[in-house]
Amino acid sequence: MVEVKTYWAKIFVGLKIMDYSSIDFMLHDSLLIDFKYVASICHEYVNSENLCVTFTETLFIYSDDGLNSYNGEPGVIIGLINYPRYPDSPEEIRRKTIELAQILKRKCGQKRLSIMFPDTTIMLDESE
């Protein structure tokens, strides 16, 4: 049995294209990034960092802007934990999470995305 101190992080990524200057994404339809493309980005990253992540499809629902009866978009939640097979410090897990989030933000044409840690939530915006 291998035991490590618990630490986790989650990256929340919408799949509606927000930055059309990004040219290296695959489209599910005319407005959405393909789930498989996001998974391939994660797979490439975990291979380079000796890491394991989870990949959960989700639906973001946000407040109505008065123009549509439904405001929302599909997305993914990428989860990182202190996996006993590849143990790491909380600082390293945070670093890897932010690095992967920045890659996802750029390659998926997002203006912003959120990262949740046990103690805080941060948003990467257009300046990052």
pLDDT of residue 57: 94
Q: Quick: pLDDT tens for 62-74.
A: 776 655 556 778 8
- Alpha-carbon span 64 to 79, nearest angstrom: 28
> Which pLDDT band holds residue 54 (cuts at 50, 70, 90)?
very high
pLDDT at 21 over 80: no
Distance in angstroms (rounded) separating the CA atoms of residues 114 and 110: 11
Other Cβ atoms within 10 Å of 105 Cβ, number: 22
Q: Where are the domains of the chain?
A: 8-124
* Percentage with pLDDT > 90 across the chain: 59
What's the pLDDT tens digit per position in 90-123?
999 999 999 999 999 999 888 899 999 999 999 9
CA atoms within 13 A on the CB side of 45: 22
How many residues in total does the chain contain? 128
CA distances from 78 to 12, 15, 29, 59 (A): 7, 13, 22, 13
Cα-Cα-Cα-Cα dihedral sign, residues 65, 67, 70, 73: negative
CATH domain 8-124 topology: Alpha-Beta Plaits (3.30.70)
Question: What average pLDDT does range 76-97 have in this prediction?
Answer: 95
Query: Which residue type occupies 8?
Result: W
The overall average pLDDT reported for the chain is 86
